[in-house]
Structure 1
Amino acid sequence: MSRSLLLVLLFLFCCGGALVVDANIHLRVVNDTRRVIYIGSFAFGPQGAVRLETRKFAAPAEMYTTENAKAPVLMPTAPVGFILIPVESVSAARMYARYGRGEVGTPLHVDIGNGYASRVCFIKDPLLGLQEEKQNRMLFPFEGLSSEDILKMPSTYSADRIGLYAVYFYNCADMPDNGEPVHLRTLPLRPISFDIYFELYWMNGEHNRVYLSYGREGLPNMFTFFGVVFLIMALLWILQVFREWINVKKIHLLMLLLVVIKMGTLFIESMKLQHFSKTGKVSMWDFFFYITVTLKGVMLFGVILLLGVGWSLLRDHLSSTDKRILLVVLPCQVMLNVCWAIIEETSEGNRNWSTWLDILQILDVICCCCVLFPLILTIKKIREAGSTDESTARTVTRMREFRTFYIVVVAYIYITRIVLIMVANAVSYDKAWIAEAGAQMVAVLFYIFCGYRFRPKIRIAATPYSILQPVEVMVVDAELKDCELSSRNSKSTSSFMKS
């Protein structure tokens, strides 16, 4: 069963890797009726440039005209194309697209009396300030061109302004060209299909192109630095393991493996970003990165859960509840990492991208909460057992020392899953590295805490788990089994009484 599950997960991961091979700045849509599509954002540095390659474009016949043209061309009065505009933040860029589709009110909270779904053409909307940004925006208009001309059209712009830009597709067919608002629901659906590729970069020197957003170009060096930090931590842990080999448990070896995988993930991510920064293309480093990220996530949650229930330190077996949680949480982590890989490497222009992002974030938090459940359950069972036995009561007193570990785990989950996301959305584009650096600093502190608190040591009272004498450990195991057995008997008795 476990082998079959592993093969299925490996197959799904490979499928996910195949899906993200060419999806960094690439978007393909088929019969899409959205009037405005947000494709993504990029922060240009000095001497920025953007190149648009249109590989396919198709529009309904109603949008074409043959007047004064040998071949059907898009109506000159129906603006269609792509645009890059300066934005304050990624969240603002997403809000502009939702506003353009009539899903929300004006981002500036101005009451214009036209309702939520009355709009003018996206590139002419005064509430978005696009008219004032004409000198800074980059427009790729398709109106007046045939499908063949669109594919051959040279589309290269220089971005002289340093800053964050958002890329949009706009379709203003059937909208008045005099600037009068029109209710979007009254407009006919005009499905558009296209396959486009954006090349966005800026120059660091005379001949060095940088394909990473301005403010993120230092991430490869930062990840290399933290990789060295985790390498030092791994060497210190190996030294401690060999020094106290007689007291080493299985969990200590798993903790060493976790640190090694974390170190490898950082080095691989550094190589991945360095390659992308120079070429703008994905490589095999991306495949190895998502493999190590998946392994790191599984190992991290597994080690936290095993430390919480005291496996190999307090007891040599796992309860049936612990096993069930492991069988649920660890495969879920694998699936979540596969989905994260697909989401992160897919353009935001795809339908339901934001919905899937929200779902994955919620599932990730739920998965984290599931890890905390066996920790609380273990204390509860030992506390119930300690009420009838003096030696177990002393064990309960000592087990209270775990509250620090639980608090640290909760704080780690809260910071990495909530606080750092808020920080990433709040900082400006040129400070994008702050959230990444904060995540790695929190990880370093968390790993150091766990390593120090649960390190193998000769002295019996060195760690919360090792303070238990062998006899007390046997009592705890026996009481835990009795608690589970009595719980099952009570459930069967209650079900018998109901019947």
Structure 2
Amino acid sequence: MGFVLVSGAQFPKINNETEYADADPGGGGGFCVLTSEHALPVLRLNDVPPGGAESTVAIDEPGEYAVVFSNCQDGVEVTMDVRTEMYNVVRGGPDDDGTTVRDYLPVGLQPLPAIYAGVSAVYAAFLACWVWRCVRQRATAERIHAVMGALLLFKALKTACAAEDAWFVERTGDPHGWDVAFYVFGFFKGVLLFTVIVLIGTGWSFLKPYLQERDKSVLMIVIPLQVIENLVLVVIGETGPTGRDWIVWNQVFLLVDVICCCAIFFPIIWSIRSLREASKTDGKAALNLKKLTLFKRFYIVVVGYLYFTRIIVSAFLAVLNYKYKWGVNVAVEAASFAFYLFVFYNFQPVERNPYLYIGEVEEVAASGELEMDNGSF
């Protein structure tokens, strides 16, 4: 039994060794990764005295490495406490005085503090513009606009905490409590995001000032599921793949995430259906086709946003070089900002919004001759 260090490029070679090994020198009756020439030995348990031991390994070849514990003795279990400290040595120091400093962030994540700080500043400016817009158009502002503003606030706070978290980890290896703030603000952001999508999808404040029973039922499903999802995210983020039942927690997260994503589609579909039926039966309501167009676009954008951030990004991460892992974070934040911009622009408080307002002239025209759009969605 023992620990080895394996780079991502060496994993296929080690797998090939398991097929062609003639015997296991450790007595396990097969290949043991501890004897592989493609793995860098760290520590064997038979070399550890009763009081414990320390081992330091320096890596000369750049790459993405994994610390692997190998147990080549069938039927033998072991319990231990292990503390690892992994960092990159940066020569020159912050003042370029020739000293060396430790950088605890992986190479592919080192730009994260600056990226998240920039994103937080963008959302803070976004929030200021939104508040200014709501104040100027307070006559047309609805309750949903206040909820949308709260969403921007928690999004800005979450990314600010993410920047501080990454900054402290980069320099000390410890987030100093910023991870707790990140999870707290991330929790409120996640709940508010899905709540805003559901409220807009039901037409609350835009089409009707109340929620029907089925709309409330969706909220009562989505909000508790979002609470569960954010709690699972904390478990996944803090335990890591070595934690007990980590795979189970990942499966729970995916299941809850899929249920939440599916649940928020129903209010949008209901609004589209009700607008289409109203446009067929009432001459004045025929102008709701404009609103119907918006809700169709909203539905497509929500589907695209969730599909990209849940599926495409994961596939992108799997093939991306370790040096550019930060690109995934940039892609997610760019997609999120584009989604927020679309939603906030189309549902902003503005007089005579072509999607949310029906003027007197239009009502007269609607009661007269108006061709109906019988196309299907």
- When normalised by structure 2's length, the TM-score is 0.85
Q: 2:152 aligns with which of 246, 253, 259?
A: 259
| 1:191 aligned partner | 77
- Give, as a single letter, the amino acid of the residue that structure 1 aligns with 2:31: V
Q: Evaluate the alpha carbon distance shift between residue 108 and residue 309 of structure 1 in structure 2; reply closer, same or farther with a 3 A threshold.
A: farther
Q: Give the equivalent residue in structure 2 for 1:412.
A: 305
Shift of 1:351: 3.5
1:169 aligns to 2:76 (yes or no): no
Give 1:46's aligned residue. none
Indicate the SS of the match to 1:83: strand
Q: Residue 180 of structure 1 aligns with which residue?
A: none
Using the TM superposition, give the Cα deviation of residue 249 of structure 1 relative to its aligned residue in structure 2, in angstroms. Answer: 0.7
Change (3 A) 1:290 1:379: same
Work out the CA distance in 2 between the residues paired with 1:374 and 1:109: 53
Equivalent residue for 2:59?
159
Rounded Cα–Cα distance in structure 1 between residues aligned with 2:148 and 2:16: 48
1:362 maps to what in 2? Answer: 255
Compute the displacement of 1:195 (Å): 1.2
More displaced 10-residue stretch of structure 1: 215-224 or 277-286: 277-286
Closer, same or farther: CA 225–397 of 1 in aligned 2, 3 Å: closer
Deviation sequence 1:195-227 (CA, Å, 0-9, x none): 111010112233321111112111011000111
Q: Which runs of 4+ in 1 moved over 6 A?
A: 107-114
For 1:324, the equivalent position in structure 2 comes to 217
CA shift, 1:397, in A, is 5.9
Gaps of 5+ in 2: 92-98, 364-377
Q: Does 1:464 find its partner at 2:375? A: no
Work out whether residues 119 and 333 of structure 2, in 8 Å CA contact, stay in contact via their aligned partners in 1: yes
Give the direction of change, closer, same or farther, for the CA distance of 1:140–1:109 in structure 2 (3 Å limit): closer
State the one-letter code of the partner of 2:142.
K
> RCO higher in 1 or 2 (8 Å CA, sep ≥ 6)?
1
1:100-139 equivalences in 2 (<5 Å): 106=15, 119-124=30-35, 130-131=36-37, 133=38, 137-139=40-42
CA distance in 2, matches of 1:191, 1:113: 25
1:233–1:110 CA distance, 2 compared to 1 (3 A): same
Contact 2:3 2:70 in 1 (8 A): yes
Counterpart in the other structure of 1:140:
43
Instruction: Provide the secondary structure at the position in 1 that maps to 2:43.
Output: strand
- Structure 1 or 2: more helix by fraction: 2
Match of 1:209 among 87, 102, 108: 102
Shift of 1:401: 3.2
Structure-1 separation of matches of 2:175 and 2:128:
32
Partners in 1 of 2:107 and 2:171 — Cα distance?
A: 13
How far apart are the structure 2 equivalents of 1:81 and 1:158? 17
Relative distance call for 1:307 and 1:398 in structure 2 (3 A) is: closer
TM-align CA RMSD: 2.7
* Equivalent position SS for 1:159: coil
* Separation in 1, partners of 2:17, 2:326: 29
Q: Is contact 2:107-2:323 (8 Å) kept? A: yes
Q: Matches of 1:310 and 1:325 in 2, distance apart?
A: 13
CA–CA distance in structure 1, aligned partners of residues 125 and 163 of structure 2: 17
Aligned to 1:82, what secondary structure does the other structure show? strand
How many residues were matched structurally?
351
Residue 448 of structure 1: CA displacement? 0.9
Bigger Cα Rg:
1
Which structure is higher in strand share? 1
Give the AA of the match of 1:141: R
